[in-house]
């Protein structure tokens, strides 16, 4: 009886565990070369933010990250210029901004469509909190994603600046055909047990 009970638990738990997958995206990216600039009287009052020329590279990978990237790998950002004229601190706006990379057999694409702007009391920094979705064909379908841009020109001279983009996103994984087969196997196992018990 005990063996039968354990088998039933195993048959139920295995497919359930397989269906409960997530993928964690937790890394930072920064420019490598190029010349990021802003327009406006100071960075805190900027009207546009230009990310500079590619390449953009991973500069930090946090524990648990499953992006498949390593420090120094390339990430594509588009467009290079973000328009924030007339938006006060705490205000929001819309945009069509993408962040994408390829790792292994997967192409990851994040599409950010809105942001909240934080204009610092300091004239040398500004931040954008981005909201959008993450999609990976065959793995993730339009799961919520967030990221933060931090800009600064601590020296306070000219129109050049530094920036970094970080995020922490946990997305649900699409059950693959193999996972569904596993669920079916578990159910078949239960059906076989029921037949044996009933002596059918």
- Please write the tens of the pLDDT for every residue from 94-151: 999 999 999 999 999 999 999 999 999 988 999 999 999 999 999 999 999 999 999 9
DSSP H helix total and E strand total for the chain: 2, 13
Domain of 182 in residue numbering reads as 1-21+175-200
Q: Determine the pLDDT at residue 176.
A: 56
- Residues 195, 104, single domain; the answer is no
Q: Determine the pLDDT at residue 199.
A: 60
Averaged pLDDT score across all residues of the chain: 84
- Residues 81, 44, single domain; the answer is yes
Q: Determine the pLDDT at residue 189.
A: 47
Q: Determine the pLDDT at residue 175.
A: 86
Q: Determine the pLDDT at residue 185.
A: 41
Residue 28 has pLDDT above 50, yes or no: yes
Phi, psi (deg, nearest 5) at residue 133: -135, 155
- Residues 86, 180, single domain; the answer is no
- Residues 87, 185, single domain; the answer is no
Residue 55's pLDDT band (boundaries 50, 70, 90)?
very high
- Residues 122, 156, single domain; the answer is yes
- Residues 87, 123, single domain; the answer is yes
- Residues 168, 195, single domain; the answer is no
- Residues 137, 64, single domain; the answer is yes
- Residues 16, 51, single domain; the answer is no
pLDDT in tens, 149-169: 999 998 777 899 999 999 999
- Residues 58, 156, single domain; the answer is yes
Report how many domains make up the chain: 2
Residue 196 has pLDDT above 70, yes or no: no
pTM for the model stands at 0.77
Tokens linked to 69: 């990237």
- Residues 127, 165, single domain; the answer is yes
Residue 87's pLDDT band (boundaries 50, 70, 90)?
very high
- Residues 108, 183, single domain; the answer is no
Q: Determine the pLDDT at residue 97.
A: 98
């Amino acid at each position: 009886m005990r063996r039968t009970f354990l088998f039933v638990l195993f048959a139920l738990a295995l497919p359930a565990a397989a269906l409960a997958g997530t993928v964690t995206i937790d890394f930072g990216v920064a420019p490598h070369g190029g010349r990021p600039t802003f327009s406006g009287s100071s960075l805190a009052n900027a009207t546009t933010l230009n990310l500079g020329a590619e390449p953009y590279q991973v500069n930090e990978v946090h524990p648990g990250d499953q992006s498949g990237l390593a420090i120094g790998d390339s990430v594509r950002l588009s467009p290079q210029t973000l328009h924030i004229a007339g938006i006060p601190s705490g205000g929001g706006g819309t945009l069509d901004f993408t962040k994408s990379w390829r790792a292994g057999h997967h192409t990851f694409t994040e599409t950010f469509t809105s942001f909240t702007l934080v204009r610092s009391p300091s004239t040398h920094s500004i931040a954008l909190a981005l909201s959008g979705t993450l999609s990976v064909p065959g793995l993730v379908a339009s799961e919520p994603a967030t990221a933060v841009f931090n800009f600064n020109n601590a020296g306070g001279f000219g129109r050049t600046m530094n920036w970094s983009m970080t995020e922490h996103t946990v997305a649900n994984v699409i059950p693959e055909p193999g996972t569904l087969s596993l669920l079916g196997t578990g159910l078949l196992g239960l059906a076989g047990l029921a037949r044996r018990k009933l002596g059918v």
